[in-house]
Amino acid sequence: MNGRAFRPATLAEALTIRGGEAVRPVAGGTDLMVARRRHAPAPVRLDAPPLFIAHLSELRYVRLDGDRTAVGAATTLHDLADSPGIDPGLKKAIRWFASPAIRNVATIGGNICNASPAADLLPYLVAVDATLVLQDAGGAREVAVREFITGPGRHVLTDAELLTEVRFPARDPVPRFRFYRKVAPRRSNALSKLSLYVEARVEPNATIRELRMAAGAIAPTVVRFDEAERIVEAQSTAALGRLAGDAVQACMRAMNPIDDQRSTAAYRMSATCRLIRRVLEHDLPSWRCHDRSDHT
């Protein structure tokens, strides 16, 4: 046996190890075990000894904290989808995530720290202004998910820190329009060519409030469409036919897609624009708050 490895009993112990030497946190391992695989049956080789954290119950919880939901970083997607307090918008994104076998082990923290522009949870988390608790042996800091991710696979976590908690708004009792769509070669176990999350409240007089839109895989990081949100905010759904063109133009300015093995920049741009236009011109204006589809 040559590989050193750490399987701490507590979070405090994990943070001490993390602060003491170079280690690679391993949560569900669904990204790491694929990215770092060698020819079977050679064990996966990481850039530093693994620090296993998925078994720590201190990192696996869903807590309702007034109007916020606080989720332990090592909570699996299965457990998240199973929790009653989780917003239906996030559940929609989880429905599109991989397959049951992956969701049983993949964690929310792993999805965030992997920082893929195609990560399925990020459009939701960016749209609702989720914040992250980063902890080291000496204390904790809280950063917005938008500030956390700086590029593909890059984030502001120091070598001594772990992501310990993800915070976002609790399930809102007021019905909301919620939309998540992922364009991928097949329904399961596929990474996105592009993805789009949109949510909004529609008042009884048809005024649109709190429109939030974010998209994945169309730029080096998940993009929030702030400018388009401002164009539509406080307008009537009846005006969407007229405003959609400007909103889509604003979204285009925020996109910076690339060609890669999954898709092309041109396809990503045009498909995302068509999807946004469809949501604004059709899905959102035709949505009624008694529509139950956002509870699936």
Ligand X SMILES: Cc1cc2nc3c(=O)[nH]c(=O)nc-3n(C[C@H](O)[C@H](O)[C@H](O)COP(=O)(O)OP(=O)(O)OC[C@H]3O[C@@H](n4cnc5c(N)ncnc54)[C@H](O)[C@@H]3O)c2cc1C
Contacts to another protein by CB under 8 A: 1, 3, 5, 7, 26, 29-30, 33-34, 37, 40-41, 43-46, 50, 52, 54-55, 78, 98-102, 104-105, 187-189
Using CB distances below 5 to 8 A depending on partner kind, what does residue 114 bind out of ligand X, another protein, none?
A: ligand X
> How far is Cα 50 from Cα 66, in angstroms, rounded to an integer?
36
Using CB distances below 5 to 8 A depending on partner kind, what does residue 41 bind out of ligand X, another protein, none?
A: another protein
> How far is Cα 103 from Cα 79, in angstroms, rounded to an integer?
9
SS3 string, the chain, reads CCCCCECCCCHHHHHHHHHHCCCEEECCCCCHHHHCCCCCCCCCCCCCCEEECCCCHHHCCEEEECCEEEEECCCEHHHHHHCCCCCHHHHHHHHCCCCHHHHCCCEHHHHHHHCCCCCCCHHHHHHCCCEEEEEECCEEEEEEHHHHEEECCEECCCCCCEEEEEEEECCCCCCCEEEEEEECCCCCCCCCCEEEEEEEEECCCCEEEEEEEEEECCCCCCEECHHHHHHHCCCEHHHHHHHHHHHHHHHHHHCCCCCCCCCCHHHHHHHHHHHHHHHHHHHHHHCCCCCHHHHC
Which is nearer to another protein, 186 or 288 (by Cβ)? Answer: 186
Which is nearer to another protein, 109 or 257 (by Cβ)? Answer: 109
Which is nearer to another protein, 181 or 224 (by Cβ)? Answer: 181
Q: How far is the CB of 202 from ligand X (least distance, A)?
A: 29
Q: How far is the CB of 232 from ligand X (least distance, A)?
A: 27
Segment 163 to 202, residues that bind ligand X, using CB under 6 A: 163, 189, 191
Using CB distances below 5 to 8 A depending on partner kind, what does residue 104 bind out of ligand X, another protein, none?
A: another protein
Which is nearer to ligand X, 73 or 240 (by Cβ)? Answer: 73
Which is nearer to ligand X, 182 or 247 (by Cβ)? Answer: 182
Segment 141 to 170, residues that bind ligand X, using CB under 6 A: 157, 162-163
Segment 16 to 45, residues that bind ligand X, using CB under 6 A: 24-32, 34
Among positions 14, 90, 98, 247, the unique one binding ligand X when judged by CB under 6 A: 98
Which is nearer to ligand X, 27 or 211 (by Cβ)? Answer: 27
Using CB distances below 5 to 8 A depending on partner kind, what does residue 295 bind out of another protein, ligand X, none?
A: none
Nearest to 261 by CA among 96, 102, 101, 118: 118
Radius of gyration of the chain (CA): 20
Q: How far is the CB of 75 from another protein (least distance, A)?
A: 14
Residues at the contact surface with ligand X, assessed by CB under 6 A: 24-32, 34, 53, 73, 97-98, 102, 106-107, 109-111, 113-114, 119-120, 157, 162-163, 189, 191
